[in-house]
Each structure stands twice: as C-alpha cells, then as structure tokens.
Chain A
Amino acid sequence: MSDLLRLATAGSVDDGKSTLVGRLLYDTKSVLADTLDAVHRASADRGLTTPDLSLLVDGLRSEREQGITIDVAYRYFATPRRSFVLADTPGHVQYTRNTVTGASTAQLGVLLVDARKGVVEQTRRHAAVLALLGVPRLVLAVNKIDLVDYDQVTFSRIAKEFTAHATALGFPEDAVLEIPVSALAGDNVVERSANTPWYSGPTLLEHLETVPVEPDPHDAPFRFPVQYVIRPRTPEHPDYRGYAGQVASGTVRVGDEIAVLPGGLRSTVERIDTADGPLAEAVAGQSVTLLLAHELDISRGDLIATSANPPRVTDEFDATVCWLSDKPLRPGARVLVKHGTRTVQAIVTQLRTRFDEQRLASTENPESLRLNEIGQVAVRTAEPVPVDDYTRDRRTGAFLVIDTADGGTLAAGLVGAPLPELDGAADDTDSHALVSPGP
C-alpha cells in the first residue's frame, strides 16, 4: 500500500473547512507546541472554552494584508500508516483557479457541505472540477451533523443526492464516500462518534489511511519527457550521453524499444541510470537517466515513449481550458503552450463552448473565456507536439497556457474533453445543463 496520499479539500469557510483541516492536524498531533499554544491563547482571548481549530489554518495577518488568503495552502500531516500532503483550496473567491490547482496533483478530493444546507450549487461545481481534473476519488464530509441532531435521515438524503451527482460526472460508485462529521466537536473526523450509531463506515482519517491510492499508471504506455541531456565529458565518462527526466507514466525496462517524439526516431533502452546505480526498470514518478543504443539528436523538449503505443503527434488538437487570468481569452489569441518539457508557440483558433459556472451549463461559440471559466477550444501549435488525451494520461494530457508578453500562466489545459458534458454536443439549444439542478 502506498504510504503517501495527496488530497485536495474544497468547500467554503462557512462549511467549516478550516475547522475540519485544523481538526485533522490537531487530532493527528501534527501541530507543534508553539503553534498550538498560540491557538489556545487566541481562543482564550476570544472567550472560548475550547480551542478554535480554524485558527490553525486561517491566514496570518500579514497574508490578509497581502491579499493572498484566496490562495491554495499546503498542509502536511502523518500517521503511522501514511503521510498526507493536503492542498487546502479556499472556496468562495476564484474557486476554479484554486480548485484546479489543488486538484491537478490530487489522488482524492474532500468536499464539505453543511448538513443543514445539504448539496448546494458550489458542491456540484467543485465536484465537476474534480471530475474534470481526473481526481480518482471523492469524499463528501457532511459537516455540522451535530446541528441536525445527528439525524440519519438528513444524512442519508444528502449522501444519496451526492452519490447520484458524482456518478453522473463519471465517478464509479465505490470511489465516492459520504461521512457524517462534526469538525467542531470531532465526531467521525479522527475519533469514531458515539452520536452516530447508525453510521457503520470509517471515520474520515480511517478512510484517508486505508483508501486504495490509484497506483501511478504503471500499466499505462511509457512516457518520458526529456528534461536535460547529461554529458559529463570528464576523463571517467568521456562519451557518456544520458537523457534525464522523470517517468510521467508507465514503466521502462532495459531493452525496451522506444520512439523519440515528435521526430519519430527509434532506438532501444540500453541502460537506466541513477546516482545510486543502474536499474532494471523505472516506474512512473521516478527520476532517472536513460541511455540509448543509438546516438540520436535528442534534446530537452523531446518525449521518449514506448514505440508500441506512442502518443499522437499533431499540431492541431481540441482541449479543455480552465482560464486563470484576468485577461480574457478570445478566438485567435497567440499564446505559448508548455507541454511536458517543451514550450511552443500556439494559436487558440476557436472557442467551441463555455461552461457557465453560474448556470452550470455550456454555451456554444462564446465570444470569450474569462477568469475562472472553463471551455472547450481548438489549438494549433507552431510545431507538432506528442499528446495523449487527458483522460488517458494526466501528465502528457496536460499543458499550461502562457502569456507571450509577461510570461504569466493564463490557463490549465487538458487535451480532449475530459467531461463529455462539456463537449457541447447539444445542437437543438444554445445551452444545456452540465449537471442536474438537484431537488
């Protein structure tokens, strides 16, 4: 079992997310004494008898002054069973920007709802973004269960509605779990609650400790973006020429036949090197150096892939973009696309659809995409790039859209249409619902 889980939380402050994250840190004893002391003192100053755990994660004064409380924050905690990297994404403002950032590397998403309010629009939007970004698993923490008197009927209704929504977005039913919690009182976060005898499932932490982590796609086709060419030219290594990179997906073994893309040259893997010695194989996530049987002209930006199942090499592709900049996107925009280790010039030739975050619907042929909007576009690149669909490969299906002028990151790009509903297939109306509006 993997001993590291990367998760992203999403939800608004009102749902008690800071308190929930604070509770996880507190109850797993991941908080050092000085921090805890400050929280106890601040809580006492406010006349509270128990510590306000949200103070553990809420922004510092200086952060608020700098206006960055809307940013993703990373938290670290560990239990004897697993280590956790938690991307804490604030809900209200700029939800797409934050959720997309947190979800891009997450293996599990934790959404929060207030048991008194149930599944709301924002819950559906967050779930849609997590689905779009390919997060494999979801947890819905039905918080403030104490405020509905630990009522099983209320919980079951919310759970049923959420499962229906998540499965409609493409999550398998066994990848979704709802848990009744009270972050404030601690029910079912780390400690099992006596107040919910009708709930037989795991606590939130038990679930995080035991949930199967989607294995890195070892069985996926091998992909290896070349980062750097290592040529020591030293007396000990006069002719050494190795291609340094991190395996993006799949597995590579000595003797494997590979193709170098976009050029298409072929060779075989002669050696897999690390500073600790050569390996027989390397798997997704490993940083290694490949030596090939033939002397080829390979440089940073090339992609080494299995020759049996290479990505398609194209200068035109459809993509979904999550727009993260104040400058709107309009058809014909000239941008840079960073895909793997290659950055190429590109034109967004067409805006096909826009996912309207307020109406939870898609609009055909929009004039622009603005901050936090998600849409389907057509991209043409100045030189061919080797791409996979995002649904097949979260690494080689992803790209950044970069501003040619100031170098800022404009958008997160996903090759293809990870959410079929975003495809804009409706032809009889100018918009269609992405998700059901709920009861």
Chain B
Amino acid sequence: MTTALDTLDRLESEAIHIFREVAGEFDRPVILFSGGKDSTLLVHLAIKAFWPAPVPFPLLHVDTGHNFDEVIEFRDRVVARHGLRLEVARVQDYLDDGRLTERPDGTRNPLQTVPLLDAITEHRFDAVFGGGRRDEERARAKERIFSLRNAFGQWEPRRQRPELWNLYNGRHRAGEHVRVFPLSNWTELDVWRYIARERIELPSIYYAHRREVYLRDGMWLAEGPWGGPREGEALVEKTVRYRTVGDGSCTGAVESDAADIEAVIAEVSASRLTERGATRADDRLSEAAMEDRKREGYF
C-alpha cells in the first residue's frame, strides 16, 4: 500500500517546495498579505512549509485606506495568532503629503503600485510572494512562477526565463527582485476546495450576509468612507457576498446566499457550468473587469 496523492496534495506540495526554494536562495523575501482569500492561503502554506519553525519572513500589506473593517480585523488577528511580522505601506500617507493624487473616480487600486515599489526598495525585499494564478485570465497564462522584475518593478518579457522541471532560477542583479507565485497552478475551485479541506478561516464578507448596497455598472457596491450612492442610485438591503476583496470603492458584491464554504464551492462549481446564461454573463463580465483592474494596479 503506497501513499496516493490527489490534486490538492500535489498543489500543496508544489507550493511548499516553492516557499522553501525562495527561503533557501533569497536574502529578504516578503509575502503580500491583504487579508483576502488568496493571500490568506499563501500565509497558511508558508506556515506549513517551515513548521515547526516560524515563517522566516514578514508580510506586507499595501493599504489603500478603503478597507472593509472585517478584513482589517481579520488581517490583524491572523498576524497575532501566528506571531507574524506585518509591514504596512499606506496609500493614505502618499495622498496626505502629495506624492500621489486622488483619482477622479475615487478608486485607489492603481495607486498601490508606488507604495509597493517604495516598500520593496526601502526594505530591500528581493523576493515578493503574490497570490496570482494562471487561470485568472489569458494574459496571466504565460506568467512564470519566478517572475523577474527590474529595478523599476517592471516585467521585461525578453528577460523572462524558461521554467524547466521544478528547477527555478532566482538569480537577479542588485536592486532587482523576483515576484513569486506559489499558486500559479491552482484554479479558483482548487483554492476553495483547499480552504474547505484545511478549514482555513476567511474574512466573513466572503460568505453571504445582509448588507446595504447600491447598483453601479452592474455591481453591488457598499457605502463607506470612499463614498456612497450618487443621485439616482438607491441603497437597498441585499443578501450578498464578496468573491474578491480589494479597495472598497470598486469591489463589488454578488448576490448570493452561499453562507458557508460548502455553499460557496457549489456556487463556484456551478458558475462554470452556467456560462451560457445570458443574464449572469453581465455580472461576470463586470466582475472580471473589476478583478483585472485590481491585478493591474496591485500586482
């Protein structure tokens, strides 16, 4: 009788291997951690990779200032529970002293890039873990697990290296860094199934709850410090949940009564089967567009 590994075992093992490679070859790695589901999964895997020793690197949150209270509370609880070290780079500081200017649409996702790069320079981080997955969109399908960035944080296609077997080449010049994506080969469904299997706690807003929201561009937005409904937009109470967690001004909720992990998995599985549904397509379209914007600005 030999041990048989299933898909989640293999994905977990691959991610742990990647964390350990980085710990072995880089001087100052950091995990980007927002309290969202993908970065929470990253932290869970990092803890497993180095157990029983503590995770040998800190976390970094690039804070837009437009937060959901539940998520910040969750973020701080995770940090405290596991004795982790959290650095926070605040977009608000940049707005206060004029290094950045608020955008007309009020969205702060695109403003995260400068504080992120400054934090990387200031702390001399040489490897930055992100929760990006290749299944998210076509452009990401070609991203490497080790993605080399120049001193300006930019991705130069011609300098990306072929990735052979599981031999990762993390060599870089001084001032450059490597973005590392341990979840590259996971799909959204894998993430949820693993969260269920490992009983990983997430911020409550990922599950269905009652919330006052208003409709804009096909998304249900919540009122907050970032603003609220404009003229003609009415606040209504709905049962919703969030599929992604980002800047509050542009993160939309979806109508859902998936109140626990099993219901979320059922919903995510079904959304792959009802793709021809015309009315839901509009929801998906705006949701994906929103997530794209998030990715561009953040990572």
Report A's interface with B, CB cutoff 8 A: 2-4, 29-37, 57, 59-60, 62-63, 66-68, 71-76, 78, 83, 85, 88, 97, 100-101, 104-105, 216, 218, 227-228, 230-234, 236-237, 240, 244-246, 251, 273-276, 279, 281-283, 285-287, 300, 324, 338, 341, 394-395, 398-400, 402, 406-409, 412
Contact = CB atoms under 8 A, between A and B. Distances in A.
Contacts of B138: 35, 57, 59-60, 63, 73
B139 A274 contact: no
A85 B185 contact: yes
A402 B171 contact: yes
A29 B141 contact: no
Given A29-B275, A34-B287, A76 B171 contact: no
Given A62-B139, A244-B49, 10 more contacts: A75-B141, A104-B165, A105-B166, A227-B20, A230-B50, A237-B52, A275-B52, A400-B167, A402-B169, A408-B159
A60 B52 CA distance: 44
B20 A324 contact: no
A95 B193 CA distance: 36
B5 A286 contact: yes
Nearest to A399: B167
B6 interface: yes
Given A3-B7, A246-B13, A32 B272 contact: yes
Contacts of B24: 227-228, 300, 341
A104 B99 CA distance: 46
Given A32-B284, A32-B288, A231 B53 contact: yes
A351 to B, nearest CB: 21
A324 B3 CA distance: 37
Nearest to B186: A76
B164 A100 contact: yes
Considering the complex of A and B, which 5 residue pairs feature the smallest CB-CB distances, nearest first?
A407-B171, A275-B51, A232-B53, A275-B48, A287-B16
Contacts of A276: 48
Contacts of B288: 32, 34-35
A138 to B, nearest CB: 20
B200 interface: no
Contacts of B103: none
Interface in B1-34: 2-7, 9-10, 12-14, 16-17, 20-21, 23-24
A256 B228 CA distance: 65
Interface in B136-193: 138-139, 141-142, 157-167, 169, 171-173, 184-185, 187, 189-190
A246 B272 contact: no
Contact of A232 (B52, B165, B187, B289): B52
B102 to A, nearest CB: 27
Contacts of A274: 48, 51
14 contacts: A33-B284, A34-B284, A72-B162, A230-B51, A240-B53, A244-B49, A273-B51, A281-B3, A283-B2, A285-B10, A287-B12, A338-B169, A406-B173, A408-B159
Contacts of A104: 164-165
B172 A407 contact: yes
Contacts of A33: 271, 274-277, 280-281, 284-285
Contacts of A75: 141
B185 A63 contact: no
B164 A30 contact: no
A286 B161 contact: no
Nearest to A251: B2
A398 B273 contact: no
Interface in B87-144: 134-135, 138-139, 141-142
A412 B164 contact: yes
B54 interface: yes
A286 B13 contact: yes
Contacts of B13: 246, 285-287
B17 to A, nearest CB: 4
B84 interface: no
Contacts of B185: 74, 76, 85
Contacts of B158: 67
B196 interface: no
B6 A71 contact: no
A74 B10 contact: no
Nearest to A65: B157
Nearest to A247: B13
Contacts of B273: 29
A218 B2 contact: yes
A245 to B, nearest CB: 7
A218 B21 CA distance: 23
Contacts of A338: 167, 169
B272 A67 contact: no
Contacts of A72: 142, 162
A182 B257 CA distance: 42
A409 B14 CA distance: 21
A386 B187 CA distance: 36
B86 interface: no
A230 B46 CA distance: 13
Nearest to A233: B53
B20 A244 contact: yes
A30 B285 CA distance: 16
Residue of B21, B162, B163, B171 contacting most chain A CB atoms (<10 Å): B162
